[in-house]
Chains A and B, each alone.
Chain A
Amino acid sequence: QIQLVQSGPELKKPGETVKISCKASGYTFTNYGMNWVKQAPGKGLKWMGWINTYTGEPTYADDFKGRFAFSLETSASTAYLQINNLKNEDMATYFCAREASFAYWGQGTLVTVSA
């Protein structure tokens, strides 16, 4: 069956870097792009962007240009989200979700930012 399994919770300090993984199984990884979605505590869902898993080309939503980077390890069917120079407002749960209809979601990765 199709699964997206994300890496575990992270506790980071402001200014640090975090890299979250999303490992796909049950389908051909390069056939479907991967979205990233942010959910701040008690808030709704916000699309961050997506990565074309065939070409490796990332596309970022306007609010996520600059400190955010999507990447792939295609041989491992894994997508990554890296956030540099962490800020308090980055504290959230981050989800990967398979394009285009977001039919499949990872379980989420909680990133806590605290000095």
Chain B
Amino acid sequence: DIKMTQSPSSMYASLGERVTITCKASQDINSYLSWFQQKPGKSPKTLIYRANRLVDGVPSRFSGSGSGQDYSLTISSLEYEDMGIYYCLQYDEFPPTFGGGTKLEIK
């Protein structure tokens, strides 16, 4: 199975700050990577698919980049509503595998 190593596992950031979360796959996943945001008691919300394609309705401050094994999610200017846990997922190869999550809190 492809292992997805997500970092950091938790972080504090200030409002307006640029935030980057990374995911490293144990092998090339050909950009078949999605990013999700989850708030307490809610289902994951898809932000990015195919590494860099923004889902309709997701604010443009979110962006995804990367290729090969290395991917990142960037929030250009952190807003209060961005608190939550972020997960990456590779769906290039069976079985699909999630990263361990990044808990983002406001400083």
Contacts and interface: CB of A to CB of B under 8 A. Distances in A.
A85 B45 CA distance: 31
Interface string B76-107: 00000000000101010011111111000000
Interface of A is mostly: loop
Contacts of A45: 44, 87, 89, 98, 101
A8 B23 CA distance: 33
Interface residues of A, number: 19
Contacts, number: 50
Nearest to A99: B91
A68 interface: no
A68 to B, nearest CB: 14
Contacts of B97: 47
> Which of B45, B91, B96, B99: most chain A CB closer than 10 A?
B96
A29 B96 CA distance: 21
A95 B43 contact: yes
Interface of B: 32, 34, 36, 42-46, 49-50, 55, 87, 89, 91, 94-101
Given A101-B91, A108-B42, 8 more contacts: A45-B87, A46-B98, A49-B95, A61-B95, A101-B34, A102-B36, A102-B91, A105-B43
